[in-house]
Amino acid sequence: MPKIYGLSKNEKLKSVVRTDKLFTQGKSFWIFPFNVYYRIGSKEELFANQFLVSVGKHYFKHAVDRNRTKRLVREAYRLNKNIVYEVSEKNNVCFNVGFVYKSRTICDFATVQKSVLQALENLAKEIAEKNQK
């Protein structure tokens, strides 16, 4: 397990193939202001716990606003990722998760953190349920 409050390069989902599989074969749910896509699988299949953040040009025309929003989401993920990491290690699985921002306004950090926390708790439940089957 990586540092509890760190965010290494290995934790970022950069592979085009894995990203495509996340959006085509993965499941999703909605928590304001995100569509959250996730994929749960074995360590051989997914290699590591990874995440991505996407903010569309459709919602924010200026790159400054898109980058600000991505920074907020990454920080909220970094602070709360231990919830889902513990469950995934206990069940010996890996996950890929993608946060797609779908609001036309930049939410404050408290709202983003609350939503990311709720999304990670939902993901942890899914991992626990999948292992029980």
Predicted TM-score (pTM) of the model is 0.91
Q: How does residue 40 score in pLDDT terms, banded at 50, 70 and 90?
A: very high
CA 89, 125, 55, 79 dihedral sign is negative
Give the tens place of pLDDT for each residue, 71-114: 999 999 999 999 999 999 999 999 999 999 999 999 999 999 99
Q: Which domains does the chain have, with CATH numbers?
A: 9-132 (3.30.230.10)
Amino acid at 90: K
Residue of higher predicted confidence among 44 and 84: 84
Instruction: Tell me what the pLDDT averaged over the chain comes to.
Output: 92
Express each pLDDT in 117-133 by its tens digit.
Answer: 999 999 999 999 887 76
What span, in angstroms and rounded, lies between the C-alpha atoms of 67 and 86?
A: 29
Omega of the bond leading into 2 within 30 degrees of 0 (cis): no
Contact 126, 38 (CB under 8 A): yes
Could you tell me which residues come within 8 angstroms of residue 40 by beta carbon, excluding any fewer than 6 positions away?
Answer: 93, 94, 95, 126, 127, 130
> What integer is the mean pLDDT of 55-78?
95
* Per-residue pLDDT at 35: 96
- Average the pLDDT over 37-57 and give the result: 92
